Amino acid sequence: MTAQKEKKSLIKIENMSLEYGESINSTLALKNINLEINKGEFICVLGPSGCGKSSLLKCIAGYVNPSSGRVLMQDKEVEGPDWHRGVVFQSPTLYPWMTVNQNVEFGPKMRNLSKNEIENTRKYFLEEVDLSGFGENYTFELSGGMKQRVAIARVLANYPQVVLMDEPFGALDALTRENMQNLIRNIWQENNTTIFFITHDVDEALLLATRVVLMSKQPGEILKIFELDFSKQILTKGSKEVIYNEEYFEVKNEIMELIHNQID
């Protein structure tokens, strides 16, 4: 019998709830969330609109403090944002006065890496996102998909332990979106990156995730967690034929039914 590889926990969310506002005007956004994010996982979070998906990501990032419970990173409580948890937003948050090279180099420079390390890091990740020839361009000269690739490269250049992505492909056209999904799947495999990915697209979640976390309507609770390997099958076979599998249809239909039950 082959021994299973031991999972290394990076993030632990323990009995976490989040409430916005005070007293009678308060809104309970998240309720009693318990979740672990392990090294090398690709977790996608699904749920009806307004269920607290982005609020959950903000708590993990350290942008928002939980009202109760806690978020731990390697057994240390998260008290604010830092480079160990990189965030990619739906709209690229790039510095328009900087070139692509300068944007990607920004994080490593802030961490006082050597000139050689900064240059090698920038070259590697621009090659990873297929933008090696655009280093001297300013970001306003790029298309939406190219800007998002720069944003991904900039986050990865900091070598964060966890990459948090908040519907990063939601504003892109269908073809660009598919290309970006292929890109991030390959980056995840090649670099053993740990990714926590918010999406409202069920197919996107199934085609990327090793685990899908399904949340309830507000206040957001975890309804069910699905263990998946469709993404690994795509990487192994080099095609998306998994979408025609009976298992794929069954999981998709179950998720859709659970989401619709929350809306009705």
Residue ranges and CATH numbers for the domains of the chain are 9-84+161-263 (3.40.50.300), 91-159 (no CATH)
Task: Using the structure block, give the residue that is written with the tokens 């298992």.
Answer: 247
Distances in Å between the alpha carbon of 29 and those of 4, 65, 100?
37, 12, 37
> Which residues in the chain come in under a pLDDT of 70?
1-6
Q: Rounded CA gap, 222 and 262, in Å?
A: 12
Q: Going along 39-128, which residue ranges are E strands?
A: 42-46, 68-73, 76-77, 85-88
What pLDDT, on a 0 to 100 scale, did the predictor assign at position 25? 80
Which residues contact residue 150 at a Cβ distance below 8 angstroms, ignoring those fewer than 6 apart?
A: 92, 94, 100, 103, 104, 129, 131, 139, 142
Q: What is the pTM of this model?
A: 0.93
What pLDDT, on a 0 to 100 scale, did the predictor assign at position 171? 82
Beta strands 68-73 and 9-20, pairing class: antiparallel
What pLDDT, on a 0 to 100 scale, did the predictor assign at position 3? 42
What pLDDT, on a 0 to 100 scale, did the predictor assign at position 88? 95
- Per-residue pLDDT reduced to its tens digit, 104-152: 999 999 999 999 999 999 999 999 999 999 999 999 999 989 999 999 9
Contact between 195 and 70 (Cβ < 8 Å): no
